[in-house]
Amino acid sequence: MLKYGISVPACPHCQTPIEEGARFCPACGQPAGVPSEDVTRTEVAAEPSSKTEHPTEAASTDERFVPGAVIGGRYRVATLLGQGGMGDVYRATDLRLGQTVALKFLPRALSSDTRTLERFRNEVRVARNVTHPNVCRVHDLGEVDGHAFLTMEFVDGEDLASLLRRIGRLPADKATELARQLCAGLAAAHEQGVLHRDLKPANLMVDGRGQLRIMDFGLAAVSGAVQQGDIRSGTLAYMAPEQIEGREVTARSDIYALGLVLYEMFTGRRPFVAQTVAELRDKQDSSRPESMTSQVADLDPAVERVILRCLEPDPANRAASVLAVAAALPGGDPLAAALAAGETPSPELVAAAGSQGALAPRWVALWLVVIVAGLGLMAKIGDVSNFLTVARPRWSPEVLAARSAELVRRLGFPDPADTYYSLQLDGDFIRQQRESGDPTGRLARSQERPGAVRFFYRESPEPLVNPSIRDSGEIRPFAPPLTRSGMVTVLTDLDGRLLWLEATPPQKDATPPDTATFDWQPLFAAAGLDPSRFHNMEPEWQPLAAPDVRLAWEGSFEGKPNVAIRVETGAWRGRATHFYVIGPWTRADRMAARERSEREELFGTINLALLAVIIASVLVFARHNTRHGRGDRRGAFVMGLYIFATFLLAEAFGAHHVAAIGETTVLGMSLAYASMFAVTTWVAYLALEPPVRRRWPSTLIAWSRLLAGRWQDPLVGHHVLVGLAAGVVLVLVADVPAIFPETRAMGGNGFNAFLGPRQTLSYLMATLSLGSVFNAMLNFFLLFLFRLVFRRDWLTAVVFVLVFSVLNSISAPNPWLQAGSLILANSIWVLVTLRYGLLAMTATHFVLSLSNHFHFTTALGAWYGGPAIIVNLAVVGLAIWAARVALGGRRLIEATALD
């Protein structure tokens, strides 16, 4: 066995030290003669180099080069460090750089062996990819006089195997220190996808400063690239069971070898000693190593637990990563060590950092109470603050659709091939209310005509497909355009009273005009208007299709004589083409848009330029992080795939599907938008996540564990539970103005979520996609940028809260009250983020997004109560799961508490 400064007899099969004259190895039972091909360490070849400057072969010794010889015109030999069956190692001086290096030569007998030379090359290729203070650096290949060699970092020290033979075992504190260094170096290799495959004390050097270095990457390979016939290559005594059986070799095989080495470091003995391969396999599978604490009195039980986990026969039961081993060692903080070294910690290191994170049962119970009680308060506030729940309409959308279809049939239109309906806010009416001094929406009730919520019904003689990218494929009153004869659009209030009708007459019709047959009385009846309250006027509003008769009246709603309204209607050959109920708030939205001022043009140009700069910066940083190995490619891929899948499901549930070729348009539009958001997420994550991981990794610990698939990790449940509770509190705080009638600002987003189970699921998936994860990521990175600028957490929180509270309260009915509630809400949001990080923020945004898309109400028995039940069950169900995980296996109510 060969290492710097030591040459001792070793088994050629497993490299176990053996006594002089022994015929068999005490570890593997193989003859102490010629090594067997499948279990020996192998080396790698070199590329041609120049000859030596003068004769170097020793005349009377076994040394290949004498001290003072210059090799390849560059390296002056100082001394022979070691000599053995695997080659010779010399200490030399690099004459060009003036540095001391080690030169490793292949044995003379193997210098021309093709397989050995290839493995020698592989050692250099692989080792140069791993750069870490605890990994011996390999510099280059060379060849001189037919002798292949490699140059490597000179480590003045002793290999661990020799050290353990001298002193028996390491003191517990020193063993723990070296164990952390070993884990750090091996983790660096695994992060580059490199498997060492020959981890053992003989391949670990301890230098004069007591620092450990991993040596000898001769058998190293890229994960997943090991050929079937090469699986058993390595040192038998330090092989994992699956490697001995020839099944596979993975990072967890290295973890098994790590456990064997750590056991030997702490106890001075191997956990399994066998005379044959069969005996070794039997001990690995059926027996546990002798208790370490029984051998070492002062050993921390945590050390034994983590080592025994590494030695699990089933790879799936071993530690998930080397970093998890390091994190489980007493007093270990690999994350702090990486940050102190100025390195960007890997996502695996971040996930392995931090505590278990389990919550005490009393805290779990408290957060559950906050969530459930908060949902109840949100429902009570929703009853008085939302247009739909305030109106409490008696007709469901299905009934309103049937009534609209019946009206269209009475007007003489044939049965359609496709229909669509939804609920909408009358933005013109709400805008007029606010401008006229009624910003709180007192006229929102449907019986107080006209009401802020309208029912929209559309039918067509062919499948309805809207190819407009601007509309995202959604069916609207005039999208797709009313270009097909027989298309009809109907708008009513929530009591089914007609507000608007637009129909497309036949493109070709030879029927002679007959204005006497047009009866406008049914239209007034459908609108719930009294004709006696109206007087004739000249028509002003032009329909899309030119009629052959147009009529107009002016009057008022019953009970509202001060609100002047206008009614315009028309017909083609006796069949209605349009009917408009026009209020003072109604805008002619087909008229040319107003010209923008120079200030608005400048503002728009600046925004466009900023957007271009942001996009370019994100692309540049993403490319930079990827090229330097900092980007979390796996995490970015998982995030992009998640956004793609959830958004596509939201589109699939919510889109208007047709049994026609137009369905390809619907599918293409959904795929296009899902791909756009997925790619945006992927690139943004590659660009923005690495600097957060480098400068603020504590906020990504639970997030990294979740991305790693650790769904049952207590810290994950802990942060999700706290985030849900914070989200409920934030909604309540932001809705404080809604408690007071004089400052109440009505809301009404997400009406389509009430149109049926499919639409409810669509909005729920949208919440899980863009509403929570995507928005949380963007806001989190924005907060991180503030933190980079202001450096201190408290200053970051103050500036962030003030800026966004003021910006979002300027247009509120009562800016001061709104600003106060927003300052409180944003303060909670920032504090939760600073304390718990991205995962908690995502859970918070989940609740916030639900409150935007759905209406919480106590009227659970109404037709609009079903979605409220589903949403409450979603939040409570997620909270129960998070609480169970956060308990870490404990019970919420212990038996002792009941006693």
Active site members: 198
Rounded to the nearest 5 degrees, what angle is found at the Cα of 122, between the Cα atoms of 248 and 345?
A: 75
Tell me, what DSSP letter sits at residue 794?
Answer: H
Angle at 61 between CA 55 and CA 62, to 5 degrees: 90
Strand-pair category, 147-153 with 453-460: unpaired
CB atoms within 10 A of CB 273: 13
The count of other CB atoms within 10 Å of the CB of residue 887 is 20
Element (H, E) at 120: helix 114-127
Cβ-based neighbour number of residue 439 at 10 Å: 19
d(CA 243, CA 893): 46
What is the rounded distance in angstroms from the CA atom of residue 6 to the CA atom of residue 163? 11
| Both tokens assigned to 64 | 């290949």
What residue ranges in 643-795 does DSSP mark as E strands?
A: none
Give the CA distances from residue 455 to residues 42, 388, 403, 556, in Å, rounded to whole numbers and listed in that order.
78, 11, 11, 21
Contacts of 82 (CB under 8 A, 6+ apart): 2, 3, 4, 5, 6, 7, 88, 89
What is the SS3 assignment for 70?
Answer: strand
Q: Which two tokens stand for residue 151?
A: 């140059």
Tokens linked to 817: 């009250």
DSSP states of 18-85: --TT-SB-TTT--BSSSPPTTT----------PPPSS----SSSS-SS-TT-EETTTEEEEEEEEEET
Q: What is the largest CA-CA distance in the chain?
A: 130
Cβ–Cβ under 8 Å, residues 421 and 455: yes
Closest to 386 in 3D by CA, of 7, 866, 858, 789 = 858
Please tell me what DSSP assigns to residue 622: H
Alpha carbons 751 and 472: distance in angstroms, whole number? 17
* φ, ψ for residue 227, nearest 5 deg: -75, 155
- Separation of alpha carbons 867 and 851, rounded Å: 12
